[in-house]
Amino acid sequence: MTLSRAVDLTQRLLRCQSVTPNDGGALPLLADMLRDAGFTVDLVSFSGPGEAEILNLYARIGTVSPCLVFAGHTDVVPPGNPAAWRFDPFSGEIADGMIWGRGACDMKGGVAASIAAALDHLEGAGAPNGSIAFLITGDEEGPAINGTVKLLDWVMARGERFDACVLGEPTNPNALGDMMKIGRRGSLTGEIVVHGRLGHVAYPHLASNPIPPLLRILVALTDAPLDKGTSSFDASNLEVVTVDTGNPSTNVIPAEARARFNIRFNDLWTPETLRAEVQTRVDTASAGADVSLDFMPCNALAFLTGPGRFTTLVADAVEAETGLRPVLSTTGGTSDARFISAHCPVVEFGLVGRTMHAIDERVAIADIDRLTAVYGRIITSFLT
């Protein structure tokens, strides 16, 4: 069976065991391929105190505007129990018209399609009328500290700029062409601790139970909606994700009760205004209880690439190759597009994501080739 360039590269990437923070040889593989095609390529590592060193790739051909950058990641989540898979999760096995393996749709197939599209374009049209770049990280599935955000700072410090970006995350729920992402909601996580006084349940007057005030606070946080959403975004939602006292006994009033929550917020909010709203609700509901409220650092802001020339160009390319006009969506979790959006317009369009992070992750071979055609059409349209 003769494989297309994109499918062959997908298979080779799937055989790299690049579970975050390990690269497994994935980015050097891409670096060699891009250098051979005439790109200037840099493999750049970042780390911090106590943090794993993360390998990232930046490649570019051309030095002038307009510059179209393709972004993505080659790191993957752990496969779980390999024995539960139909095929070895790092084999890149091809069967039933699908290619199987951890990262097939999220997002080694998308990375392979973008690189194949660029190489096809260069072979057919020669040097680009502008520039094509790649921004590929090994830290998207991890803390996202030593990946795209630092790589962008490194690129900008060199004086380089991008005019638009396509991120190849798996955006389609059911069929290639269903959906492209033009924005994402932000994410903010916090923890509430109510401090009580330990005591015997038979002598409650000698103790102070922290659970009732915590329950009042959680009701205050969840009962009233944060907003009603916008024309581009769903309503912001606060979800309580843990409630705990650390109390193994049935006859002891606990000394404290704590809860963690996560908020997915739209562009009506900033982290600062959201923290203030939460603090107000906690203060109102705490009724004199001893309460502490802390927030984790927020590196996921809401962003939106409004409808315009670039979003239309991408949607037109998708429709031309798939026959479907993609829905412009801001749903789903966070992605590295949140970092790129500060530098240029960014949209996300990739493969079908029904099996991402799941046992037997897989993607249709035909979809990889059609995605390559979509990306090729975007390159041609953007650089013409």
Q: Which residues are catalytic, by number?
A: 75, 140
3-state helix, strand and coil shares in percent for the chain, rounded to the nearest 5: 30, 25, 40
Type of residue found at 180 = M
d(CA 20, CA 102): 12
Please name the helix (run of DSSP H) or strand (run of DSSP E) that holds residue 118, with its range, or none: helix 109-125
> What is the C-alpha to C-alpha distance for residues 360 and 356, in angstroms, rounded to an integer?
9
Please state whether beta strands 164-167 and 346-348 pair in parallel, antiparallel, or not at all (unpaired): parallel
Q: What is the CA radius of gyration of the chain?
A: 24
Nearest to residue 111, comparing CAs of 35, 26, 49?
Answer: 26
Is residue 46 classed exposed, middle or buried when 0-12, 13-18 and 19+ CB atoms within 10 A define those classes?
A: buried
Q: How far is CA 356 from the centre of its chain?
A: 12
Distances (CA, A) of 44 to 28, 54, 138, 164: 11, 8, 10, 22
Instruction: Give the tokens for residue 346.
Output: 């960014």
Amino acid code (one letter) for 287: A
The CA-based angle 350-177-26, given to 5 degrees, is 15
